[in-house]
Structure 1
Amino acid sequence: MIVPLHAGVALGDLQHLGRPEAIAVALIDTGDGLGLVDPGPSSCREALEGLVADFGARLDDVRHVFLTHIHLDHAGIAGSLAQATPRARVYVHERGAPHLVDPTRLLDSARRIYGAEMDRLWGEFLPVPVDQLVVLQGGERLSVGTRRWRVAATPGHAVHHVAYLDEHVGVVFTGDVTGEATQHGTPALPVTPPPDIDLEAWRPSLDRILEWRPESLFLTHFGEVRDPHRHIEEMWKRLLEWSDTVRASLEHPGSDDARADRFLEEQVDALASGLEPEQVKWIEQDAIRSSWFGLARYWRKKLAPPVVPVAAPVPPA
Structure 2
Amino acid sequence: MNHPTAVAITDADAGVLSYLDFEHGISTIDTGFERPQFAASHLIVEHGRAAFIDVGTNHSVSALLGVLAHKGLTPEAVDHVIVTHVHLDHAGGAGALMQHLPNARLVVHPRGARHMIDPTALVAGATAVYGAETVRRSYGELVPVPAARVVEAPEGHLVDLAGRALVCLDTPGHARHHLCVWDARARAFFTGDTFGLSYREFDSARGAFAIPTSTPVQFEPEAMKASIARMLGYDPQAMFLTHYSRVTDVARLAAELCEQIDAFVALAYAVGTPPDRHEKLMAGLDELFLRRARAHGCTLETARIRELLALDIELDAQGLAIWFDKHAAAA
TM-score, normalised to structure 2, is 0.85
Cα separation, 2, equivalents of 1:288 and 1:304: 24
1:138 maps to which of 134, 155, 159: 155
Would the alpha carbon gap of residues 268 and 151 (structure 1) be closer, same or farther in structure 2, given more than 3 Å must change? closer
Q: Answer yes or no: is 1:189 the counterpart of 2:211.
A: yes
1:259-288 CA-to-partner distances (Å, cap 9, x unmatched) read 344234323442453320268378432112
Q: Output the CA distance in 2 between the equivalents of 1:150 and 1:89.
A: 15
Q: Specify the alignment match of 1:157 in structure 2.
A: 174
The equivalent residue for 2:263 is 241
* CA contact 1:32–1:144 (8 Å) conserved in 2: no
Corresponding residue for 1:277? 300
CA distance in 2, matches of 1:272, 1:135: 39
Listed one character per residue, the Cα deviations across residues 111-141 of structure 1 (whole Å, up to 9, x for unaligned) are 1222211111112211111111111111223
The answer on whether the counterparts of 2:290 and 2:305 sit within 8 Å (CA) in structure 1 is no
Q: Mark the CA change 1:235 to 1:62 in structure 2 (over 3 Å): closer, same or farther.
A: same
- Residues in 2 aligned to 1:167 and 1:134: alpha-carbon distance in whole angstroms: 21
The alpha-carbon distance between structure 1 residues 269 and 65, as it changes in their structure 2 partners (threshold 3 A), is same
Q: Distance in 2 between matches of 1:150 and 1:212?
A: 12
Inter-partner Cα distance in structure 1 for 2:102 and 2:281: 44
CA distance in 1, matches of 2:215, 2:329: 20
1:145 is matched by which residue type in structure 2?
A
Give runs of aligned pairs for residues 48-197 of structure 1, distance below 5 A: 48-115=64-131, 116-184=133-201, 185=203, 187-197=209-219
Aligned equivalent of 1:266: 287
2:303 corresponds to 1:286: no
Contact 1:192 1:291 (C-alpha < 8 Å) held by counterparts: yes
Indicate the residue corresponding to 1:46 in structure 2. Answer: 62
Is there any run of 5+ residues in structure 1 with no aligned partner, and where? 307-317
Quick one: distance in 1 between partners of 2:200 and 2:326? 35
Query: Looking at CA atoms only, which structure, 1 or 2, has the larger radius of gyration?
Result: 1
Q: 3-state SS of the aligned residue for 1:277?
A: coil
Q: Percent identity?
A: 32
Per the normalisation by structure 1, the TM-score is 0.89
- Aligned residue pairs, count: 304
* 1:213/1:265 CA distance change after superposition, 3 Å: closer
**Separation (CA, whole Å) in 2 of partners of 1:232 and 1:56:** 37
Secondary structure of residue in 1 paired with 2:320: helix
